[in-house]
């Protein structure tokens, strides 16, 4: 037995503080959890659109991959289909936007028989290298935009559009 004995009053005080603390914690914890919930949400994957193109089938030759998402225009919701030119650079997936930087036509890979390794815009004969670099002397003034892209369970998933990071 130690020298400072616990009095009945002290014992009651300790027990009540302890039990009260647990009860308060039991009430506060869920409240805190609800309050901070928005920052704990996982954002990853939310903005990526899964396509039906298998990653294994992608080669170094760009292929057109279509993807659809819903777009709300004022009160009118419509399903919009966009496409991307996807190819592999080593093991890395690359997706380029098909929208010509001149006036917004759709560019095609190898659309011009004289330049089979370039993107070609049929409107005003704009051309781009495989990495999206615009070719000097043709109308476009900038490189093709790039999509964020990743491998999601073996299929290509396409995310947000951004400025070209390859050139």
Binding site for another protein (CB under 8 A): 66, 68, 79, 81, 100, 102-106, 121-124, 139
Q: Which residue number, 38 or 104, has a Cβ lying nearer to another protein? A: 104
Q: Which residue number, 161 or 166, has a Cβ lying nearer to another protein? A: 161
Q: Whole-number minimum distance, CB 66 to another protein, in Å?
A: 8
Q: Whole-number minimum distance, CB 118 to another protein, in Å?
A: 18
Q: Whole-number minimum distance, CB 63 to another protein, in Å?
A: 15
d(CA 137, CA 141): 9
Q: Which residue number, 20 or 116, has a Cβ lying nearer to another protein? A: 116
Q: Whole-number minimum distance, CB 81 to another protein, in Å?
A: 7
Q: Map the chain to HEC letters.
A: CCCCCCCHHHHHHHHHHHHHHHHHHHHHHHHHHHHHHHHHCCCCCCCCEEEEEEHHHCCCCCEEEEEEEEEEECCEEEEEEEEEEEEEECCEEEEECCECCCCCCECEECCCCCCCCCEEECCCCEEECCCCCECCCCCCCCCCCEEEEEEECCEEEEEEEECCCCC
Q: Whole-number minimum distance, CB 83 to another protein, in Å?
A: 10
Q: Which residue number, 32 or 103, has a Cβ lying nearer to another protein? A: 103
Q: Which residue number, 124 or 162, has a Cβ lying nearer to another protein? A: 124
């Amino acid at each position: 037995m130690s020298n400072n004995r616990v009095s009945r009053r002290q014992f009651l005080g300790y027990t009540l503080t302890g039990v009260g603390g647990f009860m308060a914690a039991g009430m506060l914890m869920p409240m805190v959890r609800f309050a901070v919930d928005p920052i704990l949400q996982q954002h990853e994957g939310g903005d990526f659109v899964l396509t039906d193109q298998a990653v294994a089938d992608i080669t170094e030759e760009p292929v057109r991959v279509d993807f659809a998402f819903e777009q709300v225009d004022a009160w009118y919701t419509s399903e919009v289909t966009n496409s991307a030119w996807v190819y592999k650079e080593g093991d890395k997936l690359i997706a380029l936007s098909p929208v010509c930087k001149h006036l917004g036509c759709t560019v095609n890979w190898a659309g011009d028989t004289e330049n089979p390794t370039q993107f070609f815009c049929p409107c005003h004969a704009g051309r781009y290298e495989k990495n999206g670099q615009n070719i000097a002397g043709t109308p476009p003034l900038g490189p093709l935009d790039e999509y964020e892209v990743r491998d999601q369970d073996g299929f290509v998933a396409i995310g947000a559009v951004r400025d070209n990071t390859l050139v």
